[in-house]
Amino acid sequence: MPDERPSPEGPATFREVFANREYGAVFTASALSWIGDYIAKAAVTLLVYEETRSVALSAAAFAVSYLPWLVGGPLLATLAERHRYRQVMVICDLVRMLLMVCIAIPGMPVAMILALLFATTLANPPSQAAKSALIPLILTGDRLVVGLSMISSVGQAAQVVGYLAGAAIAAFDPTAALLVNAATFALSAALVRFGVTDRPTAMTAAHRSHLLRETAQGFQIVFGTPVLRAIAVLVFAAMLFSVVPEGLAAAWASEHAGRLDAGAAQAIIMAANPVGFILGGLIVSRAFGPDRRLSLMRPLAVLSPLALVPALLDPPPLVVALLAAACGFAVAGMLPVANGLFVRALPDGFRARAFGVMATGVQVIQGLAVLVTGLLAERFSIPVVVGVWSAVGVLLMTLAALHWPSRSTIDAAIEAAQQPGASAPRQAGPGTPGRHGEESAGGPAGRWAVAPARRDGSGTR
């Protein structure tokens, strides 16, 4: 069995990662479907606004894509554990392709558009969970960390490219943009079907219990194990602060644009974090070896909110953008390492469920962060809100860094998860869980020894 722990060897190269045919197929499929998704978001938002002239309904069309994670992300992700990962990804892509074609039918009522869009996004959690669980089966060791970094970076780039292309295509013909998205799903399904090996299910029928119970085991395994809980706290805290400049960009630009046009100021602030994220993921993963990246995790975690504290000084938009980019750089520098540790410390039969927990947590935390800071900005100036909010983040991240598990604890958790038939370690109580967390004596399947979604929920998206 290959040693998947971080090693003192040099970092894996991009060439080594992309030499893996299966990873190349998943990477390309992900990039295509993400770009198509963002094109469709821009198109649907414009389409609904043109049909209704309602800003609220237009915003609802944009926000509906987040609802599946909030109302049932972990439950839907658990479904991926019950079936072959390749099969889940292909079926989800084909379903989304067909629904996008339906949305593109001329004259479709707005209520039906929103309903179909919601149905389309119901496929996101199982598809992304299957992808998250599949990648550690394709890549091992430091190749996994570099591969996760590349997927995170392309997700950020897809967001920028997709929104720009979507706005341009939708201005000409929103229906064409929706059909482009349907085509990307068809290509994604083909790439996965013919480029990825069909592996058996992680959870066989004999190991299934009740879907709700299996979902609960995902929460138990994330929050019941010190190493995984520490990673979850670090990731959730990073999301709590890094999203704020982007979420408040419109109001920030309107009130503090200075010499810039308000629209240009908003665009600069919103694009800064993704750009910083892309640079951080590429540079840190390539410039430093595995051991150095692991040692940089805690300093980068503290730096991510610290970079935004100077917002207290009410800088101009260009400086705000630089601060947001620095924050994104720091988050991207530590997130792939956290991802790699998370998936290596997970027994194979729990990866999709754990991804559902992490992705849902990221969605909820980012939404709450923007909501709370937005409410605070109604009473206080935005620079003060962002600066103080980030200062609190420095304190939180410092506490998380101080309580970070020791290297020996991390290595022990990874080694335990890689043992044949590994399962979640027991909680105190009757019964001994067997493989895949089933019980041998009636007690609860307990704690365990990510690849979390990227900052807007996608993940190893």
pLDDT at 100: 92
pLDDT at 99: 93
- Residues 310 and 161: their CA atoms lie apart, in Å, by 30
Q: Where are the domains of the chain?
A: 18-197, 210-418
pLDDT at 330: 92
Topology (CATH level 3) of domain 210-418: Growth Hormone; Chain: A; (1.20.1250)
Q: Give per-10-residue mean pLDDT for the chain (461 aa).
A: 43 84 93 85 76 68 69 74 88 94 87 86 85 86 81 78 75 84 94 93 60 74 84 87 79 69 73 84 80 86 94 89 92 84 77 78 79 83 91 92 85 76 44 33 28 39 37
The 10s digit of each residue's pLDDT in 266-276 is: 778 877 888 88
The architecture CATH gives domain 18-197: Up-down Bundle (1.20)
Among left, alpha and beta (phi > 0; psi -120 to 50; other), residue 81 is alpha
pTM for the model: 0.65
Cβ–Cβ under 8 Å, residues 224 and 350:
no
